[in-house]
Structure 1
């Protein structure tokens, strides 16, 4: 049985970390990230607007952190976002996920009971 991603009720990573990546991921270079949503940070790297300054909040984040969120450019998001996983997604804690959640007063995610049960019985 699959449950909704915990990311849909979090969004802390999108409001805590700078989201930087190679400029070649931008639409004008043949990638998918809309050019008007990034700022240059070096000759070869860009960052999502809103994550290049403090307070941090990605321009693509919709909703309230810790309540209900989504990504306005989910299908066009960068590799940095695609590669970031919530804790326990692959059976391992993600200290960066935990740190972002803590910055917003959210408890770290815990492994689901059914995952623990199947790991222990294998």
Structure 2
């Protein structure tokens, strides 16, 4: 995450969605990194971050206040859904999930990335 990342002032995704992943990502499996004590089992092969399998989710690893200043307490050991979830406009890509999470917490949408290709209307003569 760069210094310019809006994630450092947001954290909405961590307090909106269930963060579920293959149990082998936990440190109880060879090569796993996610701290097992911060997860709960949701099926024989799936785990999720504690706090995210609730009607009002909030990941146990999220520190700070959503929309003001946040960080992940296990950032270097976070699960694949967290690693793969882009903020809106990251690398020029739309992220409807990011915008949905921001809206759920009353945060304004992020602007489109300047890297995003723009459609130019074709005007017929």
> One fold, TM greater than 0.5?
yes
Structure 1 portions without partners, runs of 5+:
none
After superposition, the Cα gap between the structure-2 partners of 1:43 and 1:110, relative to the gap in structure 1 and judged at 3 Å, is: same
Measure the CA separation in 2 of the matches of 1:111 and 1:10: 16
- The structure where helix makes up a greater share of residues is 1
Structure 2 portions without partners, runs of 5+:
119-125
Helix, strand or coil for the counterpart of 2:112? coil
Show the counterpart of 2:7.
7
1:32-43 equivalences in 2 (<5 Å) = 32-43=33-44
Measure the CA separation in 2 of the matches of 1:73 and 1:62: 10
| Distance apart, 1:93 and its partner CA | 1.5
Aligned residues: 116
Please identify the structure whose Cα radius of gyration is greater. 2
After superposition, the Cα gap between the structure-2 partners of 1:95 and 1:119, relative to the gap in structure 1 and judged at 3 Å, is: closer
Show the counterpart of 2:20.
20
Q: Where does structure 1 differ by over 2 angstroms across 4 or more consecutive aligned residues?
A: none
Helix, strand or coil for the counterpart of 1:108? coil
| Distance apart, 1:92 and its partner CA | 2.0
Helix, strand or coil for the counterpart of 1:100? helix
1:77-111 deviation line (CA, Å, top 9, x unaligned): 00010000000002122110000000001111003
Show the counterpart of 2:47.
46
Helix, strand or coil for the counterpart of 1:42? coil
CA-atom RMSD in angstroms: 1.7
1:52-101 deviation line (CA, Å, top 9, x unaligned): 11221000000000000000000000001000000000212211000000
